[in-house]
Each structure stands twice: as structure tokens, then as C-alpha cells.
A and B are shown apart, each in its own frame.
Chain A
Amino acid sequence: MTALPAPERALCVWCPDWPVATARRTQPARVGVPVVTVQRVDGRAVVTAASAEARAEGVVAGLRRREAEARCPGLVVVDADPAADARAFEAVARAVEAITPRLVLERPGVLTLPTRGPSRYFGGDATLARHVLDAVRSVGVDAVRVGVADGAFAARLAARALAAAAGHVVDPGGTPAFLAPWPVAALGGSDAELAGLLVRLGLPTLGAFAGLPASAVLARFGPSGARAHRLAAGLDEHATPPAPPPPDLVETAELDPPATRVDEAAFVAKGLADRMLDRLGALGLSCARVVVEAETEHGEHLVRCWRHEGTLTAAALAARVRWQLEGWLTGAASDPRRPGGVFPTGSECDHGASTAEIGEEAFATGGLTLIRLTPEQVVPADGRQLGFWGGDAAARDRADRALARLQGLLGHDAVVTAAPCGGRTPAERVRWIPWGDARDDGDHPDARAAAWPGAVPGPAPARVYAPAVPADLLDPDGRPVAVSARGEATGRPARLTCAVLPGGGGPIRAWAGPWVHDVRWWDRRGRRRRALWHVVVGAGESDTDEVACLVGIEGGRASVEAVYD
């Protein structure tokens, strides 16, 4: 552990509740009233950000919309729009870029920058923090916090510290001590599940978690746990310092004619993102940071770096590139110097020309002629292991999108996949799980294969009716067949009629049964007692037109439970 260098010192700019702030800018009537943004997750509207007024009433991110409205009457609910948030945050990024060009966007509302160069130039971290705060406030964003610490993660927490409104600086080397008292929930994001488990294990703070031996954490929680452990200990997120990737991984697309609309550019960028991740994937690498570059027909050169906790997936990368292109292409509209801009303060000074990298304007004045994606940090892909057979991530994404769309159309549980489980009848032996929900086969494979006394023998029926379809099972004299308490039939079944059979039913050519199923006899309400038969019905004139079905008799009524189709 001592061999690891301390992470690069970083400054984090955090605009709290950025989605709410964006929503308020577009509609000033929302200022001063409780506002939340909601997003649909798994068919439920979930709060993603809440204003301070709403939080005072107990509304927090993660609540369902209905519950949030119950806690806070008069709540204004706005649909989340990450693209608009990113577009608005571009103005903040431009203001900070005037101080240092090497900034990295994490998500709309959060950006980090390495402090080594700029701190030396401005004369210390505290002065730099003050400059950054001034720059951000100059574009009309007052709710901003700045933290400086060793590593982006600690800097983000420092920005959340109480004193961060004036810039909170953690002394070099003091990061582990600063992190120690924070609750493990601060790991956030993809580690939320781990954090919950750690609390139950009696490790409520980052300091307690960091005290565990690294090898033990790796053995128990895998690479993602080891990553969280390194973060908690104030070390760098990656065990090995990310290497600069070879130049041939850069993906470039030239656009002719130039793209002036966001969707055109985003379409091209999506292909670039997929190609880049494919090639990285083929090398066993994944990308934690990506630089999006664009050139316009007026010769402007725009660069922005995006970073993601963990590694970027194809969908996450495509979304970020799209946000960025939107920010550039619609940036003219949000330019502070033009009337009607998003941040009409007028006090911003244009530092755009102060860096060689960035053109005069930090947004596109014409169509984009070139889009380039450069993976800046590549790390070994250890987090996600694709299936050995048929691990086609692109096809999986495609299917995911189409099926999620259908779920939006028809309801979450209208799209399902089957999971076998233990049971006796065909309907019991399979569970239908909505697409996207965890297919954790609750039953151990042994439970499925275990002997289930009284299970229906034979092949599995291809059509299982739940609830069963009412039918008539008649003996040769035309009376309904009944089953006695001892499980004996009153007659031999001779004819079955049911709506699902071709021609409405027919004579029975062969049968087996009855088998009595008396299940949950200890449970007064769950008890079911029924008799099952296998019957083969002659459906037509020919000897070979046979339909096999599973017939149940319960409470004196017959029904077809399944057809072997």
C-alpha cells in the first residue's frame, strides 16, 4: 500500500441540486418554493434532486414522487432533463476553464480539476479556490461549493463539508484523516449496496472501512470493493496508475456536410463511442476518462474531458458525448453576452482566449466538421466479465433498449423472462420475471432438480393456462367424472370439452390418473386439493390428430391446466 503514490491533488466544484437550479433558471417562479426533479426508474417516478425548501420538509432523493408530495404539500415537480442540465453547466465549465484548461466533468453539477499547476500560479490552494468561486459566481451561479483535497473523491467530499461555501481546503497528506469520520454512504453511486452492507457489518465510517486489510477486502468484495476501499483510505481510485493509451485508439469522424443539429452530431458520436469501447474491450481495457473534441467549419477547436466513477459504459459514454455536443451547438443561445441567455448577468469576462487549447469562443459558431473521442485514462477491464459464450454487448444493449421501450408502452411486468424453479405442476415450476429485474434464481439448482413427490411426469407442456380454463370431463354415460376423497375416480373419462381445444373437444383416446394433489394441508387458507389427469383427446377424424392436455378437478369442477402444443 505504501508503494502507491498519493492521488493527484484535485479541486472539486460542486453546484448542489444542479437539476433544481436549472429548472429554476428557466422558470423564475420556481424560486423560493420547494422544487424536486423526478425521473422514471423501473416504471416509478423517483426524486433525483430536491431544493433546500423541499429537503426541510423531509423530501430527499430516492423517494417516490407520491411520497414526496405527501410529505411536502405544494411541492413543484419537474421532470429531470440531464441534457438541459449539462447544457446549463457548460457555462460554469467555461467560466472555470478560464482559470485552468484541464478540467474534468463528472456529471452536470460536478467538475474537478488538478490543482498542481494553477495553485502554484495563483499562490496556494485557498487562493485558487477563491478564484474558482468568483469565476463561477460571475456567471450567476451563487449556490456553489469548492473543496480541495488529495484525489477527486476526497475533493468532492471536501466540497460537501460545511465550510465549503468559502472553499474548503484539506491539507496535503491530511486526506485520510479528513475522510475517516465520513459515513460509508458517502461512497455513493454504484457502491450504495456495499455501503449498506458495511453498516450492517459494523463499519459505519470510511475510517473503519479503510482500517480493513486491502487483501481481505479484495478477496471478499472483488475489484469494485477494492476500489471503494482505496477511495476510503484516501488512495487513488485505480490500483495501478492509469496509463496513457496508445494513440491508435483515438476515434475520429469527419462530417461532410458539417453537422449543425445536435441529433446529427450525436448520431455520429454514438457510432464513435461504440467503436472506441469495442476496440478498448478487445484489448481488455476500459475507459475511465474520455476527451471529446470537435472542430467547426469556422476553424474553432473545442475540447472537453468527461470522467465517470468506475468505467464508462457505451450508453453512459454516448449520453455524455451527446450532452457535450448539445452544450457546444446550443451554446450560442446560452452565451452570457447575448440577450436572453441562460445566465443574463453580464459580468462574465471572457477568458476563453487565455489558453492555447481553447479557441476564441468556447462554443460552436458553425456546424461541426470533426468529432474526435480520445480515451484519456484506460484501466484494465476488471469490473465486468462478459459471458464466455455469446457475450455480445451490443446485441444485449439493443435488446435492452427495445424491451425497455415496450415496458414503457405496455407496463413493467408485460415483458418477462422465465426462470425455472421447484414445484409440482407446470405452472408452479416456472416464475416469470419482469425484464430488467434481477434474475436471481431464488431456488438453488438442487431444489429444482430435487425430487418433488407427486410432480406431474412427462414432458413440459408448451401452453400453461393460469388460471385454468373451465372444461367438462365426462364418463361414457355423459356424467361428469368426479374423484372421491380416497382419490378414486367415479368413472373412466370418455370425453373432454373445453374452449381451448380444437373443435371444442372430443373423445378421450388414452389417459392416466387421477393423481391427487393435496398441497399445503397445514395451511387453512393456502390449502388446495385437486386431482390431475393426463388425457389424450382425439380432435379430428384422423388417428393422428391428437391433443394431449393436463386436466385438473378441483371442488368438483374440471378445467384444462395445460395443453401439450
Chain B
Amino acid sequence: MAPAPVAPLPRRDDDARAALADTARRARPVSAAHERVVEVPGPLGALIPGGGLRRGAVVAVDGAAGAGVTSLVLALAAAVTAVGEWAAAVDLDGSFGGLAAAEAGVALDRFAVVRRVPPDRWATAVAALLDGVSLVVAELPRSVRAADARRLVARAREREVILVPVARGGAWPAEAALRFRAAGGPWPGLDAGSGVLADRTVRVEIEGRGVAARTRSGGFARAGLARAG
């Protein structure tokens, strides 16, 4: 669903073929189960080792309030709904911005938000979501037992679902293939009493394991698809 980059017409056959293959890959409606990686488009995808999220992996996200955590997880959810799959989010304080999700490029009819999850049923709710959708954004309650977390990791791996635990200040008490940290960024557009708030670039630090152990950092902005349309 991401807009294809506007490029000059390819001169050679090889270029044309590559461009065609690229277009076909983007336009393919459903990604088959054996395709283990969900590609994340744009500059965010360029930061992620492997260019996308591996199915069954845990991607832990943290950052302070207002630092862009929600924009970051919405970008990940957008990548999943863009290939025709379902995503869901556990929204503990009922404040997810639906319009921001649309602006991030999330297909709203395939993005379920689960509210009013009591802390003692949090693990049950996340486990139920892991049975049904391809990506689960789970905001962590004040305390998560390590045993629950490990069980959810195992379930995500078994069901090949991407689990995105979102810790605000706290930490995800189990393993994670990737750890994202949203680090905010300056807000352009406003001045002392004048101007219009413009979209910013969120700085994000990504830490992986193994071959991807090097910490990468960079910025990404929202897709802004819905606003244009």
C-alpha cells in the first residue's frame, strides 16, 4: 500500500524487470504463511535489521510518554494491515487515537483495539489475541509476571504472530528479538504564540541480538497516506 517511489523510467530490461517484481511484491494481496518476514516500508524499515518483522518474534517497544511510542507501534501495525492481515492492540487507558492510526496508514477495519482489560486478565486477553491476528500490540500493565511473559513469547512463536509489548518506563521481563526505543524529537511548526503544528520525525533506537546486535538509530515520519486522500 506504500506509494511506489517515483523514479525515472527504467532504461534497461533488468531494471524494468526488477521494478515490475517490486511492484508485484507490493501489490500481492495476501502474503503466504511461509513468508516469514513482514516488510516495513519506508525509513523505519531501513533501520530494522532484515528490513522487516519476523513472524513469531517479539519486538519490545519502550519510551517516555510523548516520545513517539504510539506512532512507532502504529507504523508497525500499518505494515501488517498493508499486506491484508489483521492487527490488534491492547489499549489500557482507552486513549488510542483512531485518526492517528488512519494517518499512519493502518487499515482501520482490520485493526481491533481492546479496551478495559483488567490487570489480572491481561495475559489471557493477549493470549486470545495471539490466536487470532498477525500482530499484537500489548501495552504492559504496571507489573507483568515473568512466567506470563515467557508463556506469551512461546505462544507468539508457535502461532507465528508478532508480539509488540509496549513498556512505558518499565521493561518487558522476557526475551525480545528486537528492542525499539522511541526517543522523541523536536516538534516543528510552532512558535511563541503562532504557527501550525507540523508532523515531526521520531528518533528511534533499535537494538537486536546476534548478527543484528549493533544498535541502530534513525528517524521516521508518518506515512500520511490518509491525510492526502
Contact = CB atoms under 8 A, between A and B. Distances in A.
B65 A458 contact: no
B184 interface: yes
B182 to A, nearest CB: 8
A429 B99 contact: yes
Interface stretch (B5-13, B117-125, B173-181): B117-125
Nearest to B82: A390
B210 interface: no
Interface stretch (B17-25, B48-56, B67-75, B146-154): B67-75
B114 interface: yes
Interface residues of A, number: 64
B132 interface: yes
Contact of B66 (A418, A464, A501, A543): A501
A536 B187 contact: yes
A432 B113 contact: yes
Given A390-B84, A402-B128, A417 B111 contact: yes
A430 B102 CA distance: 10
Contacts of B93: 465
Given A411-B116, A510-B190, A501 B198 contact: no
A462 B70 contact: yes
B106 to A, nearest CB: 9
A460 B193 contact: no
B199 interface: yes
Given A459-B199, A565-B70, A398 B131 contact: yes
Contacts of A366: none
A544 B184 contact: yes
A419 B195 CA distance: 29
Interface string A457-487: 1111111111000000000000000000000
Given A388-B29, A512-B196, A565 B67 contact: yes
A314 to B, nearest CB: 15
B151 to A, nearest CB: 17
A492 B191 CA distance: 12
Contact of A564 (B86, B109, B187): B187
B117 A390 contact: no
A378 interface: no
B95 interface: yes
Contacts of B186: 543-544, 546
A460 B102 contact: yes
Contact of B192 (A396, A464, A511): A511
B197 A426 contact: no
A419 B110 CA distance: 11
B101 to A, nearest CB: 6
Contacts, number: 216
B29 A399 contact: no
A418 B104 CA distance: 13
Q: Give the contact-size bracket for chain B.
A: 35 or more
Contacts of B133: 398-399, 402
B98 interface: yes
A460 B99 contact: yes
A539 interface: yes
Contact of A414 (B71, B98, B115, B200): B115
Interface in A510-565: 510-512, 534, 536-537, 539, 543-549, 562-565
A198 interface: no
B100 interface: yes
A416 interface: yes
B83 interface: yes
Interface in B71-96: 71, 74, 83-86, 88, 93-96
B97 A417 contact: no
B103 interface: yes
Nearest to B64: A502
A410 interface: yes
A462 to B, nearest CB: 4
Contact of A415 (B71, B99, B113): B113
A502 B63 CA distance: 10
Contacts of A464: 95-99
A537 B103 CA distance: 23
Nearest to B197: A458
Given A430-B97, A512-B190, A546-B187, A420 B108 contact: yes
Contact of B222 (A390, A403, A459): A459
Interface in A417-437: 417-420, 426, 429-430, 432, 435
Given A417-B112, A511-B190, A534-B197, A389 B64 contact: no
Given A390-B29, A545-B184, A546-B186, A502 B197 contact: no
Nearest to B84: A390
Contact of A565 (B29, B68, B191): B68
Nearest to A548: B187
Nearest to A396: B86
A432 B129 CA distance: 19
A71 interface: no
11 contacts: A398-B133, A401-B132, A406-B129, A415-B112, A459-B227, A464-B99, A492-B193, A501-B65, A511-B192, A512-B196, A546-B187
Interface of B: 29-30, 64-71, 74, 83-86, 88, 93-103, 108-117, 121, 124-125, 128-129, 131-134, 183-187, 189-200, 203, 222, 226-227
Interface of A: 387-392, 395-396, 398-403, 405-406, 409-411, 414-420, 426, 429-430, 432, 435, 439, 457-466, 492, 500-502, 510-512, 534, 536-537, 539, 543-549, 562-565
Given A462-B70, A510-B190, 20 more contacts: A390-B85, A392-B84, A398-B86, A399-B86, A399-B112, A410-B125, A415-B114, A415-B115, A418-B96, A420-B102, A420-B226, A426-B99, A430-B99, A458-B196, A536-B187, A544-B203, A545-B67, A546-B187, A563-B65, A565-B70
